[in-house]
Structure 1
């Protein structure tokens, strides 16, 4: 990698780190090119060069953290000893990620990111394909082994992640859910919905 490429990557990291800090402190309304310039020391021209727009910064930030979340979930899934342990692990990994990275989780569950994801679902799936492929392979293998119900992979994925995402959103927005209670009670209930 050339020195210029390394500088470009460092600039992107500076901007994304600053953008998440600003988002955590001020929400999406405080996330402006001027605020990022002040917080990161990166010029506005450089921000536009690397991201195209403020919307591009938000999307790059979301993709960065979505990649990290998916990476943790896939590692948990593939390292678990059996389907039941994997369901427990995914619930704990997802909610643990939300607790550990609340600003990033709030961004990932925001209306802006939801809107983008719905509008560009194929592009988002393509950009995360390396992380998503093992999930489908894992589901198919455990359906074939008889551990998981004979349901299509997207339905199993929805049955596992749907309740977890709903709890995460509620904790992030209202705060009236105890994540420890959710981590204790959700795995068994989810398992009942997907087990063979």
Structure 2
């Protein structure tokens, strides 16, 4: 029973090691997601309103705008609630509506792009760790196979290395699941920025 269990562990470990990040795009060897990596959102892709001009730097100087940007860009704020807040804010802006709209969008564009960059950097950092872990699993699997075939066979060493492989494989698989989940985050941020940008532009008309 122990022998067959160890063989299974070795097979699983090799399979896991073989799934270590293979870059879909050679330009980004550490990018672990099936989604294409788009390093930054271009302004033209999400904004068809008037030129932002100095709003791109001045939005931080407005305490009210900064606070609203912080609230709207937080993923814990439901998108429908964020859209409602945009409408309420701009409805009360009267003569300053266009200026405030530009400041608000400039803040969202800056903040959400920064969020994306942070998430993507984290994903690539984990991807590098996964590659290192896969290499270690592969080495230990080969070492386990050698121990299994040795004569005389040291059962204590075989069992110790087998248990170590089980632990490393489990950590690898858990990280892989987390990465798959986090890979959706940049797309979610894109969608939030596009949706809020659309509401802002509609309120300006």
Q: TM-score, normalised by structure 2?
A: 0.30
Q: TM-score, normalised by structure 1?
A: 0.31
Higher helix share: 1
